[in-house]
Amino acid sequence: MADYDVIVIGSGPGGYVCAIRCAQLGLKTACVEARDTLGGTCLNIGCIPSKALLHATEMLHEAEHNFAEMGLKGKSPSVDWKQMLAYKDKTISQNTGGIEFLFKKNKIDWLKGWGSIPEAGKVKVGDETHNARHIVIASGSEPSALKGVEVDEKTVVTSTGALELGKVPRKMVVIGAGVIGLELGSVYRRLGAEVTVVEFLDQITPTMDGEVAKQFKRMLGKQGFEFVLGAAVQSVETKGGKATVHYKLRKDDSDASLEADTVLVSTGRRPFTDKLGLDALGVELERGMIKTDDHFRTNVAGIYAIGDAIKGPMLAHKAEDEGMACAEGIAGQHPHVNYGVIPSVIYTHPEVAAVGFTEEELKEQGRAYKVGKFPFMGNARAKANFAGEGFVKLLADAETDRILGAHIIGPMAGDLIHEICVAMEFGAAAEDIARTCHAHPTYSEAVREAALACGDGAIHV
Ligand code: FAD
Ligand code: NAI
């Protein structure tokens, strides 16, 4: 048994960042983690492994499609799936090992095992109970279940199983056209699988700016994705390592089915709060999420919650920001998370990135806005790099020119978006970006051109 200022439960991006910040601020800190390695969903079975597989398969796509035109002739690489998985696993362990190093460096104790909270001020891990003045729950999330669909993580998988399939499937059905489905669907499509995405709504990535979502669907279609939209999955049958997905088309209630070697269920995630003992403690939940105030405090004094376990987008960087702010609040500082400027990125090819409001949201608010758009076809660097598809779209207030949102589909969109995030944090106008000199030839020039398009006009269109 030990006494701590803070015990954080969960070592994902929310938990480990919170623990490190607490330690940096002089608080005696421990972090409870039940997994064999630190880093949570993100490092072990989420962001990092999926990006490793996306990177490897994007390299394959480059080699197959663009090398010859650049004068790089020869046989395309063949796929050694086992080696690709080994590369992914090495990437995971490099990153999880990195967090272990940071914990040692910051003198944070890793309490190994499942943590529960028998009463405020106490955390039980195995047979040991530790005292803590403050307890931060960062227990993350898990895949949502889908009625009629039983996951076995072999034939019918969640993202976890999809990151370590025994072989590349010939036919894959993805249920849900959200972030996981399109990222992991891209991995297997590039490896040669026939990928059909079945989505309940009539558009893919439903929260995305409508114009971007349409273009995104077109581009994925060109890559060979098939889409069945407006379809409610009824059940999935499995037999002899194959699956049949039964669905109903919502427009006419007709029944249809699809055969697959692998079915990926990616219809959202839900907060994971089992085993903590929250019921007995009286910690309030709201639609499965731990209810918190603006300072991440639950209704029980001394207990806080952050990340996927609470409201807001289920994103690693949102969890990290909350982890840092929660730690600073515990240390007596006055931090603030600006939820209006949290970027979201889909790491497909091309990438799709967004921050702030969509055009649909601005219309709904009845706000007068202007649109500055610039196609990557007008960007010299993008053309040279076979990346001329897509565009940057900037939304600014019609009167004040203040930037209200940005939506990018194109090369390095996930990096380009941050220039706009910083501008929005500073309350900048589109003209501020338009008047900032941007190096040539870079993809970033497309952001500037979109800003120019909010004023007197872009140059290269
Ligand atoms: P988690 O990362 O879920 O960590 C929670 C940890 O707490 C887990 O390790 C769990 O074992 C542990 N835990 C829970 N309860 C207990 C307990 N009682 N005792 C001990 N330990 C406990 N987000 C992005 O921003 N970018 C991406 O590219 C991205 N890609 C993703 C890809 C996939 C396939 C998935 C599934 C998710 C992805 N996400 C991505 C989402 C991101 O992983 C989550 O938003 C993020 O991990 C949430 O962090 P967290 O700290 O709240 O919780
Ligand atoms: P999602 O919320 O992104 O997408 C789920 C999709 O499934 C939606 O389009 C929804 O309309 C559809 N759907 C829901 N029920 C359905 C049903 N019964 N039949 C057919 N379609 C149905 O969820 P996803 O892809 O599972 O990802 C979960 C979360 O993980 C994301 O919301 C995101 O927060 C995080 N994530 C983030 C990534 C990133 O930042 N690049 C990558 C992967 C995951």
> Tens digits of per-residue pLDDT, 84-135?
999 999 999 999 999 999 999 999 999 999 999 999 999 999 999 999 999 9
Which amino acid is present at 335? P
DSSP string, 345-385: EE-SSSEEEEEE--HHHHHHHT--EEEEEEEGGG-HHHHHT
From the candidates 65, 295, 440, 460, give the one annotated as an active-site residue. Answer: 440
Nearest CA residue ID for atom 12, ligand 1: 10
Measure 177 CA to ligand 2 centroid, in angstroms. Answer: 7
What topology does CATH give the domain 3-143+270-337? Answer: FAD/NAD(P)-binding domain (3.50.50)
Q: Which ligand is nearest to the CA of 315?
A: 1
> Is 440 a known active-site residue?
yes
Nearest CA residue ID for atom 21, ligand 1: 33
Domain 156-267 matches domain 342-453 at the CATH topology level = no
The pLDDT confidence band at residue 74, using thresholds 50, 70 and 90, is confident
Nearest atom in ligand 1 to the alpha carbon of residue 160 is 34
Distance CA(37)–CA(20), nearest Å, equals 16
Segment 16-23 shows an average pLDDT of: 98
| 51 among annotated binding-site residues | yes
The pLDDT confidence band at residue 141, using thresholds 50, 70 and 90, is very high
Neighbour-count burial of 358, counting CB atoms closer than 10 A to its CB (0-12 exposed, 13-18 middle, 19+ buried): buried
Class of domain 342-453: alpha beta
Please check the confidence at residue 409 and state whether its pLDDT lies above 80: yes
Q: Are 243 and 259 in contact (CB under 8 A)?
A: yes
**What are the structural domain ranges in the chain?**
3-143+270-337, 156-267, 342-453
What is the DSSP code (8-state) at residue 407?
E
What is the DSSP code (8-state) at residue 78?
P
347 Cβ closer than 6 Å to some ligand 2 atom: yes
b vs e for 324-351, b when ≥16 Cβ sit within 10 Å of the residue's Cβ?
Answer: bbbbbbbbeeebebeeebbbbbbbbbbb
Please check the confidence at residue 461 and state whether its pLDDT lies above 80: yes
At 403, is the secondary structure helix, strand, or coil? Answer: strand
ipTM tops the 0.95 cut? yes
* Residue whose tokens read 């269109």: 461
The pLDDT confidence band at residue 432, using thresholds 50, 70 and 90, is very high
Please check the confidence at residue 394 and state whether its pLDDT lies above 90: yes
CATH architecture, range 156-267: 3-Layer(bba) Sandwich (3.50)
